[in-house]
Amino acid sequence: MTTIRLTAAQAMVRYLAAQLTPSGVPFIAGCWGIFGHGNVVGLGEALYGVRDQLPTYRGQNEQTMAHAAIAYAKQLGRDRAMMVTSSIGPGALNMVTAAGVAHVNRLPVLIVPGDVFAHRGPDPVLQQTEVWADGTVSANDCFRPVSRFFDRIIRPEQLLTALPRAMRVMTDPAECGPVTLAFCQDVQGEAFDWPEEFFTPRVWRRRIVQPDPVEVESVAALLKGAKAPVIVAGGGVHYAHATDDLRRFAEAHQIPVVETQAGKSALPWDHPLNLGPIGVTGAASANSRCAEADMVLGVGTRFQDFTTGSWSLFSAPGRNLASLNVLAYDAMKHGAAPLCCDAAAGLAALSDALGDSRFAAPDPALKADWFAAVDPLTAPPGEGNALPTDMQVVGAVQRAAGPDTVVMCAAGTMPGELHKLWKATRPMSYHMEYGFSCMGYEIAGAMGIKMAEPDRDVVCMLGDGSYMMANSELATACMMGIKITVVITDNRGFGCINRLQIGTGGAEFNNLLDKSYHVNPAAIDFAAHARAMGAEAVHVGSIAELEAALAQAKAATGPFVVVIDTDPYPSTPHGGTWWEVGVPEVSERAEVRAARKTFETRRKQQRAL
């Protein structure tokens, strides 16, 4: 056996550079890294040696670097991924939140934090957490519950098994998610005689999980017995590259489709069978059909509580539930009849089993009435001095959007408004991280989207709260020359949660900046802050000025930031459904007691199965 002598870190990056997609490019497209004493000497030196094959990018915060990597993988439908590395200690722990984002959203990212010394001689080292009841534990064990695969590399030769296992998880359609390889810092620099064939290029193909014939017949029988079925399209439709398959299936059998946050854009917004968004942030057209559906077929959805109205939405007597999902865990949720397979393969098999079965097409008035209600909300406002609403901001961005625009967001008010109001014209033109709804994903995520699809026009929408939480990657985008448009709606606080607080009977408290214990009023100049990091930035005073600024942004060569003050109170009054939050049983406030009565009434409408 021919061997080559390399350090463990050199072997890791050489192996990763040789793992290819079917198109012949490395599956790991690059590495985001902030170097410290846990990774700069070993892994940093190794990454320098492969910088032409595996480029390394430097961000400003470990969490947001990982967000950029996650958004990159999501936008490419999990066909490629990125690696993220940090030092031991706080740098590593900063990435735990991002690992949660990737875990919940079933997205691949390779996280390689530095770790303690395997030989333990210098213990405790700088930034080392000591667990006196367990000498094997370090801070990196926090990654275990938010990793699909976790390993600690304490010997170089462990990479011979750990790295192939990591690749398997990241490319497996069912198990896909974050992988954490905690890399002991002394081991990174230790040498080993590696078999040369370990570095032979290998192509990793997405496994097409075929449906079980018995499960196909079972789900087909439920559909054949239905009068008013509905399809719930989730993110798995995109990850399986099955948007065309979904359209063909829906058209062949005339079954209407509703879309989750992750599934939105699976069908064009104006397709006659697309009834729009479902659930708490859903359209009346979609939710009314779901409420009367006697057969609900989920395709690639986790059936999150926002989708199901905390399981109060699918309320028709005798309704059946089936779930087409590549992961058995999701396929069998809430007693669903499972069809555990690839979305495209499963829809094809179901269509064959249904034959020429066709259902009554949905009433076109459902969509017509919905848009008649909400389109005026996004229209330009008339004369007056009122603060713009978030709905009007969405309308302005929609009018400025082109066929290559990707709108993205993650948390706060905008996800609900965009889910209801945004008119997505093609698959993956709507990028929402709403599985974890992680504030701070937005700017870094927009950067990752643009890196994944450089020819797309990427528009990042976020509130002032999210901007304050994580804005530093705007400087990275400026330095890297990554062109994104950032629209900041400044409602002076956490407007979304403030409305939830009011809606459940609570007093306005600690959400809006002027309702918090602050001595001085907020006077944050977001446009000046963005300019200080290198972006072009303007503060606009109206929707008309916003539209002019969005036109100006098209000519920018780097990040362009538009800030607009908005009213924190209004939201789209139409559509939506109940969402369970824990309203107090005991309160001195009459408003809370009234909200508790409503809560108890709605809980009775929940269906566990």
> Is the pLDDT score of 384 beyond 80?
no
Task: Give the neighbor-by-neighbor strand order of the sheet with 405-409.
Answer: 430-432, 405-409, 457-463, 485-490, 560-565, 536-540
| 385 pLDDT tier (thresholds 50, 70, 90) | confident
Query: Does residue 585 lie in a domain region?
Result: no
For the stretch 531-561, pLDDT in tens is 999 999 999 999 999 999 999 999 999 999 9
Residue that has been written with the tokens 């009007």 in this structure: 392
DSSP assignment of 208-253 equals: -PPPPHHHHHHHHHHHHT-SSEEEEE-HHHHHTT-HHHHHHHHHHH
**What's 144's DSSP letter?**
G
Same-domain check for residues 151 and 20 = yes
Let me know whether 77 and 179 are in one domain: yes
Query: What residues have CB less than 8 Å from 501, skipping those under 6 apart?
Result: 507, 508, 509, 511
CA distance 554 to 483: 9
CATH of residue 116's domain is 3.40.50.970
How are beta strands 3-7 and 191-195 bridged, if at all?
A: antiparallel
Domain assignment of residue 553, yes or no: yes
Q: Among 512, 458, 505, 489, which residue's Cα sits nearest to residue 565? A: 489
pLDDT tens figures, 32-78: 999 999 999 999 999 999 999 999 999 999 999 999 999 999 999 99
Last residue of a domain, one of 203, 222, 240: 203
Tokens encoding 284: 């009346």
- Do the domain assignments include residue 163? yes
What is the residue range of 460's domain? 379-565
3-state secondary structure at position 305: helix
In a domain, 460, yes or no: yes
Tokens found for residue 428: 């993956």
* 557 and 414 in a common domain: yes
The pLDDT, as a whole number, for residue 19 is 98
Contact 185, 37 (CB under 8 A): yes
* 406-415: burial string, b at 16+ Cβ within 10 Å, e else: bbbbbbbbbb
The confidence score (pLDDT) of residue 473 equals 98
Distance CA 415, CA 558 (A): 25
Provide the phi-psi class of 318: left if phi over 0, else alpha when psi is between -120 and 50, else beta.
Answer: left
Beta strands in 456-515 (DSSP E): 457-463, 485-490
pLDDT > 70 in the chain, percent: 100
SS3 content of the chain, % helix, strand, coil (to 5): 40, 20, 45
Does a structural domain hold residue 501? yes
Q: 81-86 and 295-299 as β-strands: parallel, antiparallel, unpaired? A: unpaired
Q: Does the residue 576 lie in any domain?
A: no
Which pLDDT score is estimated for 127?
87
Residue in the structure block whose two tokens are 């299936």: 249
Between residues 606 and 371, the one the model is more confident about: 371
CB–CB of 298/258 below 8 Å? no
What share of the chain has pLDDT > 90, as a percent? 95
Residue type, 498: N
Q: Would you say residue 17 lies in a domain? A: yes
Instruction: Indicate if the pLDDT at residue 608 is higher than 80.
Output: no
102 and 242 both lie in a single domain: no
223 shares a domain with 170: no
pLDDT of residue 128: 87
Question: CA 441, 447, 451, 455 torsion: positive or negative?
Answer: positive
221 and 195, same domain (yes or no): no
Is residue 411 within 8 Å of residue 565, measured between CB atoms?
A: no
CATH number (domain holding residue 238): 3.40.50.1220
Of the residues 203, 225, 251, the one at which a domain ends: 203
| 41 part of a folded domain | yes
SS3 532: helix
- Clarify whether residues 561 and 492 are in a common domain: yes
Contact 367, 282 (CB under 8 A): no
Domain identity same for 315 and 398: no
Query: pLDDT band for position 607 (50/70/90)?
Result: confident
Mean pLDDT, residues 595-606: 92
Helices (H), 225-340: 235-239, 243-253, 284-292, 305-308, 328-331
Q: How many separate helices (H) and strands (E) can be counted in the chain?
A: 24, 22
Which tens digits make up the pLDDT trace of 424-456? 999 999 999 999 999 999 999 999 999 999 999
Mean pLDDT of the chain, nearest integer: 96
Q: Which two tokens stand for residue 181?
A: 């390889």
State in Å, rounded, how far the first CA of the chain is from the last one: 58
Q: Torsions phi, psi of 393, nearest 5?
A: -65, -45
Tell whether 247 and 327 lie within a shared domain. Answer: yes
Distance between CA atoms of 446 and 408, rounded to whole angstroms? 7
In the block, residue with structure tokens 């961005």: 397
| 193 plus 220 within the same structural domain | no
* Residue 177 sits in the same domain as residue 301: no
Count of domains forming the chain: 3
Residues in the chain: 609
Distances (CA, A) of 445 to 164, 345, 398, 416, 538: 27, 30, 20, 18, 22
* pLDDT given at position 383: 79
Instruction: Tell whether 190 and 230 lie within a shared domain.
Output: no
Element (H, E) at 164: helix 159-171
Contact 437/443 with Cβ under 8 angstroms?
Answer: no
Cis (ω within 30 of 0) for the bond into 124?
Answer: yes
User: What pLDDT sits at residue 327?
Assistant: 97
* pLDDT, average across residues 67-94: 97
The residue among 178, 203, 228 that closes a domain is: 203
CA–CA dist 378, 390 (Å, integer):
9
Rounded CA separation 261/244 (Å): 18
